[in-house]
Amino acid sequence: MRVFVTGASGHIGSALVPELLGAGHEVVGLARSDESAAKLIGAGATVQRGTVADLDTLRRAAAAADGVIHLAFDHQATDWMDAVAGNQRAIEAMGAGLEGSGKPFVVTSGTLMLAGLGLPAGQTGTEDDAVDPDSAEARAASEVTVTRLAELGVRSSIVRLAPTVHSYLDHTGFIPTLIAIARQRGASAYVDEGANRWPAVHTLDAARLFRLALEKAPAGSRWHGAAEEGIPFRTIAETIGRRLDVPTVSIPVAEAQSYFGFLAMAVPVDNPTSSVLTRKVLGWDPVNPGLLEDLAQDHYFELPVPA
């Protein structure tokens, strides 16, 4: 397949491009800068210049491809809701280019949104947990759109990623951010008892899942990029504290915003997530190190300290 990939030079994209090429696909990667374009060319991909805000470019590139994987999201936006709205417009534009084609369109979502679906406390989220079209959850609209596209002749599917997509390729995700906060504060923190659980997946396993979804996923399906169902947040904080040689502390939820900044809404969330159906149907078999094993390595702690 000739696959159009947004976010192709980013964290997961840098693993997905060789994954796709190694499986015999061609890759056309969206690049907004000369640096990103050079990186994609060096990896063996073709470059489509533009950004996720260039809706006409997205529509044409999707129509010209045999399949699309949408990884890009504007994490640098100053307003979260603006970024969510921009992502929605990008999905709609690429979906319009694919309508009636039967081609695959894999869209990225997150397992954290499961916490907003009204699941009973402590219940493990599964691939069968669908978004209510009237949900107020910020990124719900993108999943609703993917379902609608399945009814319009697109083999659309969703990959919900764990909040911790971790590896030596992860330089700006939640784990590097938590490490940076612990360095700045002189302590690694969790909220209240820290018993809430976060799922995790290695970047290379996530990349393989996106390829499998491209190749196999039925229209309108949901898949979970969660190799580990749920690690207590306190354990994550304690591991970071040991590696930095700083204390691990509990803070009340009322202080989370001032301590964690934009991560404050995510840190206390209990997000146990099953990937049983994903493994069974797509044949996904995560084989790379788990989060705590990754944190035992040096790569996260050798990253430049933010100014």
Beta strands in the chain (DSSP E): 2-6, 26-31, 46-49, 67-70, 104-110, 155-161, 164-166, 188-191, 197-202, 221-225, 228-232, 248-251
Q: Coil, helix or strand for 93? A: helix
pLDDT bin (cut points 50, 70, 90) of residue 99 is very high
Fold of 2-163+201-228: Rossmann fold (3.40.50)
Find the helix or strand (DSSP H, E) in which 82 lies: helix 80-98
Does residue 136 register a pLDDT over 70? no
Using CA atoms, how far apart are residues 4 and 80, in angstroms rounded to an integer? 25
Helices 13-22 and 34-43 sit at what angle, rounded to 10 degrees? 30
| Mean pLDDT value across residues 281-289 | 98
- Check whether 124 has a pLDDT greater than 60: yes
Q: Is the pLDDT of residue 307 over 60?
A: no
* Chain region(s) in the chain for CATH 3.40.50.720: 2-163+201-228
**Chain segment 189-238, per-residue pLDDT in tens:** 999 999 999 999 999 999 999 999 999 999 999 999 999 999 999 999 99
| Mean pLDDT, rounded, for 245-265 | 95
Q: What is the pLDDT of residue 306?
A: 55
Arithmetic mean of pLDDT over the chain: 94
pTM for the whole structure = 0.95
pLDDT-based confidence at 84, cuts 50/70/90?
confident
pLDDT at 137: 64
Give pLDDT, residue 122: 85
